[in-house]
């Protein structure tokens, strides 16, 4: 999903101008966590919602295994911003009762195969060895300390 703005064009009507000011994932998807708050609160204002579970939220990042570690600071920032956006919606009355990071491990993605990494656990596809990324440790700490 990429936000866009439109400008009037005398010949063709309106034309789309893609927003390029926000960071992007390794696939090129715009990172815009405010959309969580906006969507959840607008749905809450319009409809009587059941309890909500966010079942897949994550980002493909250009992870590198270096000296047995993956320091995925960009993914940490992604989750920090998105979890705070969800928390903002909760504080505004939305009944969000669950959040699941996408995904636990790097895996086969239908559109990208093994080229893009979404997991908080790095998978060496040749050996199948799993390595917890910095984001996995941070997510573990968040869950352990959540009230």
Q: What pTM did the predictor assign?
A: 0.84
CATH entry, 24-145, from 3.40.720.10, 3.30.70.20, 3.20.20.80, 1.10.3720.10: 3.20.20.80
What pLDDT is stored for residue 19 in this prediction? 56
Q: What is the mean pLDDT of residues 55-78?
A: 96
Whether the CB-CB separation of 15 and 6 falls below 8 Å is answered with yes
Residue 125 pLDDT more than 60? yes
What average pLDDT score do residues 37-66 get? 96
Task: Check whether 13 has a pLDDT greater than 70.
Answer: no
The residue behind tokens 């050996």 is: 127
User: Dihedral of CA 97/78/56/130: which sign?
Assistant: negative
Average pLDDT value for the chain: 89
C-alpha radius of gyration, the chain, whole number = 18
Please report, for residues 3, 102, 145, the alpha-carbon distance to residue 84 in angstroms, rounded to integers and kept in the order given.
Answer: 20, 16, 15
Lowest mean pLDDT across 14-23, 41-50, 60-69, 114-123: 14-23
Instruction: Yes or no: say if 133 and 119 are a contact pair by the CB < 8 Å rule.
Output: yes
Instruction: Give 1's pLDDT tier (boundaries 50, 70, 90).
Output: very low
Mean pLDDT of the 28-52 span: 95
Residue 38 has pLDDT above 80, yes or no: yes
| Average of per-residue pLDDT across 82-94 | 97
Task: Please give the pLDDT value at position 71.
Answer: 98
Q: Look at residue 17 in the predicted model and tell me its pLDDT.
A: 56
Provide the pLDDT for residue 143.
87
Q: What is the pLDDT of residue 46?
A: 97
User: Helix 73-91 vs helix 134-145: angle between axes, to the nearest 10 degrees?
Assistant: 30
């Amino acid at each position: 999903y990429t936000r866009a703005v439109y400008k009037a064009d005398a010949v063709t009507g309106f034309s789309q101008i893609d927003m390029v000011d926000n960071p992007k994932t390794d696939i090129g998807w715009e990172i815009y966590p405010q959309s969580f708050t906006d969507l959840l609160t607008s749905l809450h204002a319009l409809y009587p919602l059941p309890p909500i579970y966010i079942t897949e939220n994550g980002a493909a990042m250009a992870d590198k295994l270096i000296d047995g570690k993956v320091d995925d600071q960009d993914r940490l920032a992604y989750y920090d911003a998105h979890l705070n956006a969800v928390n903002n919606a909760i504080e505004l009355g939305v009944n969000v009762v669950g959040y699941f990071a996408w995904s636990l491990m790097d895996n086969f993605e239908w559109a990208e195969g093994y080229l893009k990494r979404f997991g908080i656990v790095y998978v060496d596809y040749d050996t199948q060895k799993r390595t917890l990324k910095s984001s996995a440790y941070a997510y573990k700490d968040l869950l352990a300390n959540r009230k």
